[in-house]
Amino acid sequence: MKKNYLLWAVTALIMLALQSCNNGKTYAEMKEEEADAINKYILENDIKVISEADFAAQDSTTKENEYVLLDESGVYMHVDNRGAGQAVLGDGTYDMVARFVEVALQTRTDLGMTAGDTLLANFHVANPSYTIKGEDFKLTISGDSYSASFTRNDSYSMYGMYKTVAVPSGWLIPLRYLKPGRTSDAEKIARVKLIVPHSEGTSSATQSVYPCFYELTYNMTR
């Protein structure tokens, strides 16, 4: 009887913890607040949202201040440059480097985060080369499956900050449409802006339920 009571008590505590994260808010409430933050950012920045059909009709490009909503993931993407490559990457394994800025889109007092805060970045003005001191990762493509792992760990890296080798799935989605190549010309490097919901973000964003804005470049190292 005592064991059953202990098991019930532990189960109740787990259920309570799952239902009462972020100062007593449910997961559904946190998702709703995240959606509100994303919509606020879109409205405040006069962003025009287009459909995937319109995006395809524009040869996977976007116009000024135009973002495509990728329905399956909920990611919004603006394409600044598709890249210097000849074609979208096919099946295989690739050594890649990214440079990025990660910005909070939601104020979260429980996380000490204010909308507009730069959370992490490796755009080093003093070092314009896009082939070194970036976010190195190994990308594997097999059919519709995209996976990637970070290969460098320092204070400016996602790996170093969030203690995980997994590349956020939101970072991989643009690679279905871009043509990254090997170039040192910053004007030719694949470049996008993203609005990424927690489900496609970093391990921290996924666990705490908050969206981020990213500016990202992609280049191949070999």
Q: What is the pLDDT of residues 13-48, one digit of tens each?
A: 444 444 445 568 999 999 999 999 999 999 999 999
* Contacts (Cβ under 8 Å, ≥6 apart) of 184: 129, 130, 131
Does the pLDDT value for residue 212 go beyond 90?
A: yes
**What is the per-residue pLDDT for 123?**
74
Does the pLDDT value for residue 154 go beyond 90?
A: no
What's the average model confidence in pLDDT over 160-182? 91
Phi-psi region of 24 (alpha: psi -120 to 50; beta: other; left: phi over 0): left
Does the pLDDT value for residue 159 go beyond 80?
A: no
| Tokens standing for residue 128 | 């314009």
Q: What is the pLDDT of residues 54-85, one digit of tens each?
A: 999 999 999 999 999 999 999 999 999 999 99
Confidence class for position 95, pLDDT limits 50, 70, 90? very high
DSSP letter assigned to residue 174: G
Measure the CA–CA gap between 114 and 38, rounded to whole angstroms. Answer: 14
Strands (E), the chain: 48-50, 66-70, 75-81, 92-104, 118-121, 135-142, 145-150, 190-196, 212-220
Centre a 10 Å sphere on the Cβ of residue 96 and count the other Cβ atoms it contains. Answer: 23
| Tokens standing for residue 219 | 């280049």
Q: Tell me the pTM.
A: 0.85
Measure the CA–CA gap between 219 and 83, rounded to whole angstroms. Answer: 8
What's the average model confidence in pLDDT over 192-218? 97
- Give the CA count within 13 Å in the CB-facing half-sphere of 15: 6
Measure the CA–CA gap between 102 and 216, rounded to whole angstroms. Answer: 9
Out of 160-164, 206-210, 213-217, which region has the weakest mean confidence (pLDDT)?
Answer: 160-164
